[in-house]
Structure 1
C-alpha cells in the first residue's frame, strides 16, 4: 500500500464512490427493514453488528467512551465528525449540550436526522429538544462544511483519524480541525496501537516502522428488494493508518495540537487520546 497518498486524495476517492453500504445498513436498521452488513478482507468475513456498534444503549458504553463524551461536552459546542446514526448526538442532546454532526454518508445522516427528529418531537419541553435537522450535515472530514472557529471541540471516534492513511494525512486532518475550532479547542480521537496487535487482527497489514501498521477491508450490505430479489451494495476498500500514542504525538508536531492524555484498558490495543490546542 502506497504511503505517499495524502488525505486530499483519499477524500477525492470518497467523492467519486457512490456506494454507501454502511449508511444503508444504518438506515435500514433504524427503519426496521431486513439487511445484512458484512466486513470483508479477501476471504475473511466479519458481521457488521450494526445494532451493537451504531445503536447501542449508553448503559453498555465503557468508561473511556463516557469520559470522551464528557470531555468534549465541557468545551461545547461540539462537532461530531463521523456521527453515523447519531448515537452520541442523542447522548449530548439529553444533557443539553450544543452539538452538530457531520458524516460522509448521506444515508447515515438521514438516519441520524430521523432519530433526532423523533427525540425532538417526544421532548418538546426541553431545550435540547428544539434542535433542528440542520444540525446533522453531509460532509467530508477533510473539508468540513462548517464555519471557521465555530466549535470548542471535535469528537472523532471509530478510528476515523486513521483514514488519513499516513502521519502526513493525519496531520492534514488536524489542520482542518484547527480551522473549525476556537483558540481553546479540544479534540477526542481514537486508534489501535499496533505494538499491541498481531496479524490475526481483522484487516491487519504490517509496516516495518515501529508503532505503525495499516488496516484494509471493505463493507457489503445485502437486503431483499420490494419484489423479493436480493440486492448487494459493495463499498470501496477502506485503508486505515494504525499508530501508537507515540506516533500520534509525532503526527501533531508542527500543528497547534498537543496530546494531553491517553486512556485505555490494561493491555488493550484500542485507545482514546485527548488533544488540546497549545497555540
Structure 2
C-alpha cells in the first residue's frame, strides 16, 4: 500500500504453495467510490447515524475518506505500520485540500496502529465498528471469532452496531485460493501468504515474504452461533452475487439479553 501510494508500486501476490493470485492493490485499497457496488455504499451509509465509527483493518483509508466527505466522524486502526502510514498520509492530504466548515470538522480522521484483538481505544468510545476484508476469519475458530466480537462490544456503546464479512464455505470450493476443508457443516479454513516484489531505483530487486495467514470460513448460520454469549445479534445478511462472500450487520442486544428492536 505504501509503495503504491508513493508511486513505486511493485507487485503483490497471494500465494498458497504453487497457487497464486494477484494482490490487486490499486483496485482493492485505492478504488474510488464511483467504482464501488451499491451494497458497499449502503453499508457505509448504514453506519453514518452511529458515529463515531471505528474502521478496523482500515488499510489505505478509503472508507475513512468516504466518511470524511460526508461529515461523519471515523477513526481507523490497522496492525500494519505501513498501512497506517499510508492512511495517515492520505487523510492529511484530504484534510488540507477540502473546504473548511462543519462537515469538514466533523469528518476528522485519526489512524491508529493496533491489534484488533486488543484495540487501542477506550471502552464504549464508538457507536459502530466496521471490519470488512474478512478480518473476522483471523479469529481462526468460532471461539476466536467470539473473542473478537467481545472486543468489538467493549469499544462500542449500548446502541452499538458492527458490520463484518466472511466467505460461506458452502458456496466456495477447492478452486478458492488457500481453501482447506473441514468435516463440520458450514466451516472451512483458508491459508495463504503475501509476497511483495519491486525493483529499486538502483536496479536492485527487493522481495518480502509475509507470514502465513490462517482464516476461519464460516456460514452465516455458524456466525450466528459465534455470537452466542456475546452482546451481539445478527440483524441482516447480504450476499455478493456469484461468490461465497457475504456481509453481516450486528446489533447489540437489549437488556437481559433480549433481541434488538
* TM-score w.r.t. length of structure 2: 0.94
**Pair 197,116 (structure 1): closer, same or farther in 2 beyond 3 Å:** same
Among 150, 155, 170, which residue is 1:175 paired with?
150
State the match for 2:94 in structure 1.
119
Q: How far apart in 1 are the matches of 2:241 and 2:61? A: 29
Deviation, 1:34, is 3.5
How big is each residue's C-alpha offset from its partner over 1:114-146, in whole Å with a ceiling of 9 and x where there is no partner? Answer: 11111111114144544667x100000000000
Among 170, 179, 194, which residue is 1:204 paired with?
179
Which consecutive residues of structure 2, in runs of 5 or more, have no partner in the other structure? 255-261
State the match for 2:204 in structure 1.
229
3-state SS of paired residue (1:91): helix
How big is each residue's C-alpha offset from its partner over 1:196-232, in whole Å with a ceiling of 9 and x where there is no partner? Answer: 1111011100000000001000001111223210010
Q: How far apart in 2 are the matches of 1:61 and 1:34? A: 22
Q: How far apart in 2 are the matches of 1:237 and 1:248? A: 23
Which consecutive residues of structure 1, in runs of 5 or more, have no partner in the other structure? 1-25
**Pair 132,263 (structure 1): closer, same or farther in 2 beyond 3 Å:** closer
How big is each residue's C-alpha offset from its partner over 1:166-208, in whole Å with a ceiling of 9 and x where there is no partner? Answer: 0000000011011100000000000010111111011100000
How big is each residue's C-alpha offset from its partner over 1:254-276, in whole Å with a ceiling of 9 and x where there is no partner? Answer: 10000000011445311010000
Matched, 1:246 2:221: yes
**Within 5 A, what are the aligned runs for 1:1-279?**
26-130=1-105, 135-279=110-254
Q: How far apart in 1 are the matches of 2:63 and 2:171? A: 28
Large movers: runs of 4+ above 2 Å: 126-133, 265-268
Q: How far apart in 1 are the matches of 2:183 and 2:103? A: 49
Q: How far apart in 1 are the matches of 2:37 and 2:145? A: 26
* TM-score w.r.t. length of structure 1: 0.88
Aligned residues of 1:215 and 1:241 also touching (Cα < 8 A): yes
3-state SS of paired residue (1:142): helix
**Pair 228,142 (structure 1): closer, same or farther in 2 beyond 3 Å:** same
Higher RCO structure (Cα 8 Å, ≥6 apart): 1
Q: How far apart in 2 are the matches of 1:266 and 1:107? A: 32
Aligned length: 253
3-state SS of paired residue (1:187): strand
